[in-house]
Amino acid sequence: MNQFSYVNATTLKEATAALGSSWSDAAVLAGGTDILSLMKDYVVSPARLVNIKNIKELGGISKSGSGLRIGATVTFDELASNAMVRQMFPSLSQAVMGVTSPQIRNMGTVGGDLCQRPRCWYFRLGHGVLGQKDGKSLVAEGENKYHAIFPEGAAHFVSASSLGPALVALGARVKLVSAAGSREVDAGKFFVAPQSNLAREIALLPNEVLTEITIPAGGKNATYEVRQKDALDWPLATASVNLTMKGNTVSAASIVLGHVGPTPYHAAGAEKALIGKTITADLAMAVGDAAVQGAKPLSQNAYKIQLARVAVKRALLQAAGV
């Protein structure tokens, strides 16, 4: 790890003042479960780390209108044990419970989950976010069993965030604050597919802190994850759904797949197949089929199509209580 200086910020003003105009100037330190391993492996080498865990206003979960506000430094454990989250947003509770190591759940934060870097091994070996060598993709012809089946341009990594798909499906918004002011971004627009090897995969700028997430009141919502094992791993495919019901029929739906693309993948075609209908096992399977239409698997990851299809079916049945 390269040498770095350390700022232990106790106010947001102090934190934003310590950030810089480029990623090499400074980085935010929250739980440290991702940034420290990236620094040890020389994937990133910020000159300064800005600890935000002691900034009171970045913590806490509270009511916001008919929805919730979740502070960026809320840990996975706090999120998982919050009664309001469990009652209003089971999809988020189910997503956070999937993050299976108690150590990670104790240290990792909600803001850090959204800002964590891809787990693509080519990225972690220093080949950039697109996994390239001499301008050519290492992913296409290489080991790609965990990569995207819905690539976006040259981006074949998958977004690592377990909370991302649930937050996108719920229509959450993310607040970003710099010394110059603040802005809010839809969770769906926070995740971006970079087309340059050095670009970031989120809409955050180097001088910004993600301070909070607000979630409007949800409908019937659920997340279903498929994992290879129950510990120390990321999901292979997930589906998060949020349904607005009129009696027994679906009047609006949001279906978002995770770990299948560089951003949470919005399955718009599948949503259309639900509107005006009553959810049954057969309909849920048909919607699962629609959700994976257009998938473009790589040489080793076609198996993810079936996992994603089943994840959609099970998330729908769970949300509808069928």
Ligand X SMILES: Cc1cc2nc3c(=O)[nH]c(=O)nc-3n(C[C@H](O)[C@H](O)[C@H](O)COP(=O)(O)OP(=O)(O)OC[C@H]3O[C@@H](n4cnc5c(N)ncnc54)[C@H](O)[C@@H]3O)c2cc1C
Which candidate, 228, 48, 260, places its Cα nearest to that of 160? Answer: 260
Place of tokens 């473009």: 296
- Considering the complex, state which of residue 23 and residue 245 has its C-beta at the smaller distance from ligand X: 23
Q: Which residue is at the shortest CB distance from ligand X?
A: 112
- Considering the complex, state which of residue 265 and residue 273 has its C-beta at the smaller distance from ligand X: 265
Minimum distance, C-beta of residue 287 to ligand X, in the bound complex (Å):
25
- Considering the complex, state which of residue 111 and residue 171 has its C-beta at the smaller distance from ligand X: 111
Whole-number CA gyration radius for the chain: 19
Minimum distance, C-beta of residue 83 to ligand X, in the bound complex (Å):
22
Contact residues toward ligand X (CB under 6 A) are 27-35, 52, 72, 98-99, 101, 104, 107-109, 111-113, 115-116, 160-162, 204, 209-210, 232, 234
- Considering the complex, state which of residue 283 and residue 315 has its C-beta at the smaller distance from ligand X: 315
Cα–Cα distance measured from residue 110 to residue 172, given in angstroms and rounded to the nearest whole number:
13
- Considering the complex, state which of residue 24 and residue 278 has its C-beta at the smaller distance from ligand X: 24
- Here the tokens at position 194 are 């970079």
Question: Strand order in 67-71's β-sheet?
Answer: 61-64, 67-71, 209-215, 173-178, 181-186
Helical spans, DSSP H, in 56-179: 76-81, 83-88, 90-98, 102-107, 110-115, 121-124, 163-169
Pairing of strands 181-186, 173-178: antiparallel
Minimum distance, C-beta of residue 283 to ligand X, in the bound complex (Å):
29
Minimum distance, C-beta of residue 279 to ligand X, in the bound complex (Å):
27
* DSSP helix/strand/coil, 195: coil
Minimum distance, C-beta of residue 322 to ligand X, in the bound complex (Å):
27
CA atoms within 13 A on the CB side of 238: 33
- Considering the complex, state which of residue 160 and residue 298 has its C-beta at the smaller distance from ligand X: 160
Minimum distance, C-beta of residue 35 to ligand X, in the bound complex (Å):
4
- Considering the complex, state which of residue 134 and residue 231 has its C-beta at the smaller distance from ligand X: 231
- Considering the complex, state which of residue 115 and residue 154 has its C-beta at the smaller distance from ligand X: 115
Q: Using CB atoms within 10 Å of the CB of residue 231, give its burial: 0 to 12 exposed, 13 to 18 middle, 19+ buried.
A: exposed
Cα–Cα distance measured from residue 131 to residue 143, given in angstroms and rounded to the nearest whole number:
11
CB 166 within 8 A of CB 95: yes
- The residue type of 3 is Q
Which candidate, 210, 224, 198, 275, places its Cα nearest to that of 74? Answer: 210
Minimum distance, C-beta of residue 308 to ligand X, in the bound complex (Å):
16
Minimum distance, C-beta of residue 241 to ligand X, in the bound complex (Å):
18
